[in-house]
């Protein structure tokens, strides 16, 4: 097999992984599609925001994460800004907009609209997310919600 063919397969895999990551945010997080969750998140996937870095988990942890977001933020809209991928890892730069209706990062519900920027990393194997984590801009969100500027 030629190296050109191998590069083509590798590039196709990276593009497929990026497409799965985009679907995760656009269809599951933004669109709240549990069917999409069942399709693109492995049954034994780890949502490290729930189980800790390197922890083991299940698809249910992703449902619980989404439930938490839905209970604390209404009118959620998510926009993917950029995707970078290497091998089975996809880094997603994204923005969440919504109305603060519950406790977020220690700030009780304010009813204020807010925008948050985050970077997530997903590990994808065989077309499914097997590991997820996120680094949200907690300070930026808290400053908007609590009207505190540091």
pLDDT computed for residue 25 by the predictor: 97
Most distant CA pair in the chain, distance: 60
- Number of structural domains (the chain) is 1
CA–CA gap between residue 55 and residue 87 (Å, rounded): 21
pLDDT computed for residue 11 by the predictor: 80
Domain that holds residue 136: 3-146
Dihedral sign computed on CA atoms, order 142, 146, 149, 150: negative
CA–CA gap between residue 88 and residue 83 (Å, rounded): 13
pLDDT computed for residue 7 by the predictor: 61
pTM over 0.75: yes
CATH number at residue 36: 3.10.450.50
Dihedral sign computed on CA atoms, order 59, 45, 10, 14: positive
* Region 6-35 average pLDDT: 90
pLDDT computed for residue 99 by the predictor: 97
What SS3 state is found at 5? helix
**What pLDDT digit, counting tens, does each position of 84-122 carry?**
999 999 999 999 999 999 999 999 999 999 999 999 999
**What pLDDT digit, counting tens, does each position of 71-80 carry?**
999 999 999 9
Tokens 């977001």, located at residue? 69
Closest CA to 78 of 16, 138, 28, 128: 28
* Region 3-15 average pLDDT: 72
């Amino acid at each position: 097999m030629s190296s050109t063919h191998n590069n083509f397969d590798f590039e196709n895999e990276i593009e497929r992984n990026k497409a799965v990551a985009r679907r995760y945010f656009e269809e599951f997080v933004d669109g709240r599609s549990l069917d999409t969750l069942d399709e693109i998140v492995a049954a034994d996937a780890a949502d490290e925001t729930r189980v800790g870095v390197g922890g083991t988990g299940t698809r249910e942890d992703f449902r619980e994460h989404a439930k938490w977001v839905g209970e604390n933020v209404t009118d959620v809209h998510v926009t993917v800004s950029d995707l970078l991928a290497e091998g089975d890892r996809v880094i997603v730069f994204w923005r969440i907009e919504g109305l603060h209706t519950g406790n977020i990062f220690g700030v009780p519900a304010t009813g204020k609209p807010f925008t948050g920027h985050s970077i997530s990393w997903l590990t994808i194997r065989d077309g499914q997310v097997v590991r997820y984590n996120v680094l949200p801009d907690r300070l930026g969100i808290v400053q908007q919600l609590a009207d505190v500027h540091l």
